[in-house]
Amino acid sequence: MADTGFLPKENLPALLEALSKKFAVFAPVLDGEVVLFKRFAPGATLCLTRPANLPPKGIIFPQSETLFNFNFKKDPEDPKKTSLELKENLDFVPTIIFGSRPCDAQGFRIYDRVYLETDTADPYYKGRREKTTIITLACNAPSPGCFCTSVGRGPAESDGSDLMMTELGKGYFFEPMTEKGKEIFKDSLFEDGSAYKEQAQKAHERVSALVKKPFAILEGTPEKLLSLFENSQFWEGETAKCISCGACTYLCPTCYCFNITDEQVGNSGERIRSWDACMFFHFTLEASSHNPRQNKHQRLKNRVGHKFSYYPKKYQGVIACCGCGRCIRYCPMSVDISEIVAHAQGA
């Protein structure tokens, strides 16, 4: 079996249909004017020409999920006694995320350190992560706002990908990064891709050179942000046009905050985990009504600080931002996190 593969563009639908027989395949599909990751079905309008508006993080870390169901049962012999039954669902189906960008795959690596590489791994995230194969598409041009090379990544960075594909003229060059990626090569639709490897590498270098670089250097940035922690004037200036809508956190491939609620009717109910966001006022609202982050500049300071200072301090310098640029492209007020970090470096 060849180490790399090549697939003519006209064979791509056949590949996805073949994979759909073994996996739940999620691919970027045109839905009106936006591109969203949806369960692939024959006839779907696949869109690989631009990044999806929303990252695929919800496939492994759902926006809302039932962790378990519970039921209180009274003892018929002694009504004062009540037992509790719990039923959790850890039966996850084999899944493929197809056509995500490398930055999206790197977002899952940010999650991995929090939910897997710890004393007590999250069983829900772990179950889906292990059952999911990620096939990424290297970028053939920078997208507005992206700055991946400034955070130590790139438009063809392989970290987090199981299999990477690169568009080359009439087809796609495929290169496996993990054993899960190699399993996909068992499909007979692939040709030997060894003759295309150098061409793919040149394409990666060309695109990487085009990505904007708002940071001169990241070394010292975590310390610089901490030195500005009490500088309200700086943060109020950077936050002036923010409306605290929180869209940036939902669009971000690396934001992983959540809330847990119990929904109960009678004696039965379910425990639900849902995305939450540090940009929301209620995120740090205490039962006493005190809020340590009452003002929006305090919340944005925390968001920027977490990605570029707190997380790197904890995880060997890894920046918790993949530079995808979604929070810049789709912010209704054009708040630019890369500019904020650049301003902090020069403050």
Distance of CA 242 to the CA centre of its chain: 23
Query: How far apart are the C-alpha atoms of 222 and 319, rounded to whole Å?
Result: 9
Confirm whether 215 is domain-assigned. yes
By CB atoms closer than 10 A (0-12, 13-18, 19+), residue 107 is buried
Confirm whether 82 is domain-assigned. no
By CB atoms closer than 10 A (0-12, 13-18, 19+), residue 164 is buried
- Residue 99's pLDDT is 97
Confirm whether 78 is domain-assigned. no
Query: How far apart are the C-alpha atoms of 250 and 63, rounded to whole Å?
Result: 9
CB 321 within 8 A of CB 338: no
Query: How far apart are the C-alpha atoms of 290 and 264, rounded to whole Å?
Result: 28
- Residue 188's pLDDT is 77
Q: Which residue positions in the chain have pLDDT lower than 50?
A: 1
Domain coverage including residue 336: 5-72+88-346
**Residue 64, CA atoms < 13 Å, CB-side half-sphere:** 6
Nearest to 318 by CA among 328, 332, 308: 308
**For the chain, how many structural domains are there in total?**
1
Compute the residue count for the chain: 347
Confirm whether 77 is domain-assigned. no
Confirm whether 28 is domain-assigned. yes
- Residue 347's pLDDT is 65
- Residue 217's pLDDT is 63
Note the pTM of the prediction, 2 decimals. Answer: 0.93
By CB atoms closer than 10 A (0-12, 13-18, 19+), residue 151 is buried
Tokens of 253: 């491939």
Nearest to 219 by CA among 113, 320, 319, 106: 319
Confirm whether 83 is domain-assigned. no
Confirm whether 190 is domain-assigned. yes
Confirm whether 31 is domain-assigned. yes
